[in-house]
Structure 1
Amino acid sequence: MALFGKNHNKKSIPDHKTTIITEGCHFKGELQLICELFIDGTLHGVIVSDHEITVGKNGHILGDIQATRVVIHGHVEGNIDADEIYVQSDGYLLGTVIANTLVVDPSAVFDGESHIKNSKVQQ
């Protein structure tokens, strides 16, 4: 019989999963993800995810990103297609973005073009 009626043999599974590329790691190629990504290392290539991508303060991406939400604390050079993009105070973004929401902290750097995703021209 289990203690207090709980089954302690069940494994705890997190509600979400995150792929992590840590500082000092270098990745070159294309990532297609069905989970969140946290990158504090270096990535040269393309990222495609239907979840959130977070670039840590030591993270550096040279390539394009397609995701639902992108949060940048580090350095990104490339184009981003996302529903929401947040460039935080320590973030740097160089490229063209397509998003419904683009928030750039006053002390962040954004050098590029922005376009509204799913824009509807009212007639």
Structure 2
Amino acid sequence: MNLNNLTSFMPDTTPSATKNILTNDVQIKGAINFESELIFDGKIEGEIVSENGNLTLGKNAEVNGEVRTKNVVVHGTVNGNITVTERVELKASSQLTGDLRAVRIVIEEGATFIGKSEVTPNKPAPAFKASDRGTAPATTKTQSASAPAVS
């Protein structure tokens, strides 16, 4: 895979010792834990967790499970809940089926979001806990983004 294509949507593509990249030929069943920065463009059935990390899900990314990080930018597909302590961005190519909890949310026109959102701009999102796990119930409110929204 050409990493220039993968990182072309990243504002800063300067290599760093703490940046981890998993490309679209990676398939994982289980959990990913990372410290600072992860670019993930593969498939995972499980959770992606980082207390202080920045996660970018590429256009080929397929996540079937929970995402709990500090910040996340989604270009691909997530079937599960996203909880971040700071900011989440749903790009135009993204599809999220699950609930979203964050301090700030950016949804680009064209993004698909089916679930509920909880935005707490004046305080950090609650710390991660085991009870946050699980997928969104089938009876959640439906929201579909077709216009830009910034909170």
Q: Indicate the TM-score class for this superposition, using the shorter chain for normalisation.
A: 0.7 to 0.9
Mean Cα deviation higher: 92-101 or 110-119:
110-119
Query: Which residue pairs with 1:95 in the alignment?
Result: 98
**How far apart are residue 118 of structure 1 and its match?**
6.8
**How far apart are residue 47 of structure 1 and its match?**
1.1
Alignment partners' CA distance in 2, 1:103 and 1:55: 15
**Equivalent residue for 1:55, pick from 51, 54, 57:** 57
- Greater C-alpha Rg: 1
**How far apart are residue 46 of structure 1 and its match?**
1.0
Q: CA-atom RMSD, angstroms?
A: 1.6
Percent same amino acid at aligned positions?
Answer: 33
Q: Does 1:110 align with 2:82?
A: no
**1:16 and 1:35 in contact (8 A); partners too:** no
The amino acid that maps onto 2:26 is C
Alignment partners' CA distance in 2, 1:89 and 1:16: 29
4+ long deviations beyond 4 Å: none
Query: Which residue pairs with 1:37 in the alignment?
Result: 38
Helix, strand or coil for the counterpart of 1:107? coil
Query: Which residue pairs with 1:81 in the alignment?
Result: 83
- Alignment of structure 1 residues 8-19 onto 2, 5 Å: 15-19=16-20
After superposition, give the CA deviation of every residue in 1:53-86 in whole Å (9 maximum; x if it has no partner).
1110111111101111110111111111111110
TM-score normalised by length of structure 2: 0.66
Helix, strand or coil for the counterpart of 1:106? coil
**Count of residues in Structure 1 that have an aligned counterpart in Structure 2:** 107
**How far apart are residue 32 of structure 1 and its match?**
1.5
Alignment partners' CA distance in 2, 1:28 and 1:68: 22
Alignment partners' CA distance in 2, 1:119 and 1:57: 31
**How far apart are residue 22 of structure 1 and its match?**
1.0
Alignment partners' CA distance in 2, 1:72 and 1:17: 20
Alignment partners' CA distance in 2, 1:56 and 1:78: 16
